[in-house]
Amino acid sequence: MDMKRAELSEKFRRELTIRNYSPNTQRAYLNGLQRFLEYFDKNHPEQISGDFLKNYILYLKEERHYSYSSLKHALAMLRFLYENVLEQTTDFDFDLKIRKTYPLPEVLSVAEVRSLFEKILNLKHKTILMTIYACGLRISEAINLRVSDIDSERMLVRVTSGKGRKDRLVILPENLLTVLRRYCQEFHPNDFLFEGAEGGQYSVRSIQAIFRRAVKCAKIRKKVSVHSLRHSYATHLLDQGTDIRYIQELLGHKHLSTTQIYTHISNYNLKKIKSPFDNAEFRTLV
């Protein structure tokens, strides 16, 4: 098979669409394909050996500083390229085992979340970040929200096409409903709950920029991102004593093990533990 790069990219896109991959996955795979094509420059993927593909993964890890999840995405993209687009075999092991690290997510305290919101004066900007925190949303889920997803009668929010293309329902807090009503009265969203200046979905980059400015204004020194609001939501639920299985459902996690990482950063159970140094035998020493 001898395809030009433009033809290869187009066939790659068509195959993703036919197999009903989500828009986010399509974008990620297509971006990954372009990076791969740029890496070997004049070569064609049909001429690439398994060793070359292994060197590419090494390049992503050592020079591009890809995380575990990003490397797994790159491997999945390469597998899709060779198996479904080029339809050829290679001596590269697409099941390459990559050891996963388990860094604890950075979370904001309740006071820090409040401070962050207080620094945002624009009602739309504030409402977007409040919705992400109050419902524990991924940024992609927030921009996909439609006005019709807000069920004020049942006090629920329908999150459609979340990660893994699974819809779910999350709690609509009364405080958020108040903010959303004020926001809708001012901005009159038509279809998407959060629309850009020219209509359509609000952009991910704009939300990230809003968050960065708010973090700077609030003088928060932690290395946090918009996704940290979701981490904070889950941790604060645990701090309140919420059963982790309910939190799993609210976050849309397929496996409980994914949710359990928050048990390592919640202080709910830690508060119930008494250090042996607090025993009476040590009291006279302090």
Give the span between the Cα atoms of 12 and 251, in whole angstroms.
31
Give the span between the Cα atoms of 14 and 37, in whole angstroms.
18
Max CA separation in the chain (angstroms): 83
Beta carbons of 40 and 48 less than 8 angstroms apart: yes
The stretches of the chain forming alpha helices (DSSP H) are 5-18, 23-40, 50-62, 68-80, 110-118, 123-135, 139-144, 174-187, 204-217, 227-239, 244-251, 256-259, 268-271, 280-283
Going by pLDDT thresholds of 50, 70 and 90, the confidence category of residue 1 is: very low
Encode pLDDT of 34-68 as tens digits.
Answer: 999 888 775 555 566 788 888 888 889 888 888 88
Give the span between the Cα atoms of 128 and 180, in whole angstroms.
9
Say which range, 73-82, 101-110, 166-175, 270-279, has the weakest mean pLDDT: 270-279
pLDDT at residue 192 in the model: 95
Please say if 146 is a catalytic residue.
no
Q: Which of 73, 125, 236, 253 is catalytic?
A: 253
Q: Which of 13, 79, 163, 168 is catalytic?
A: 163
Q: Which of 125, 138, 231, 236 is catalytic?
A: 138
Please say if 163 is a catalytic residue.
yes
Residue 100, pLDDT > 60, answer: yes
Residue 201, pLDDT > 70, answer: yes
Please say if 133 is a catalytic residue.
no
Encode pLDDT of 245-268 as tens digits.
Answer: 888 888 888 777 777 777 766 666
Q: Which of 125, 126, 230, 231 is catalytic?
A: 230
Domains of the chain: residue spans and CATH? 5-85 (1.10.150.130), 110-270 (1.10.443.10)
Please say if 138 is a catalytic residue.
yes
Encode pLDDT of 117-176 as tens digits.
Answer: 999 999 999 999 999 999 999 999 999 999 999 999 999 999 986 555 578 889 999 999
The stretches of 136-226 forming alpha helices (DSSP H) are 139-144, 174-187, 204-217
Q: Which residue has the higher pLDDT, 63 or 2?
A: 63
Going by pLDDT thresholds of 50, 70 and 90, the confidence category of residue 200 is: confident
**What is the percentage of the chain residues whose pLDDT exceeds 90?**
47
Q: How far is CA 196 from CA 104, 146, 180, 200, in A?
A: 34, 13, 16, 6
Which residue in the block uniquely carries the two structure tokens 């949710």? 259
Q: Which of 82, 202, 233, 262 is catalytic?
A: 262
Give the span between the Cα atoms of 149 and 157, in whole angstroms.
6
pLDDT at residue 61 in the model: 87
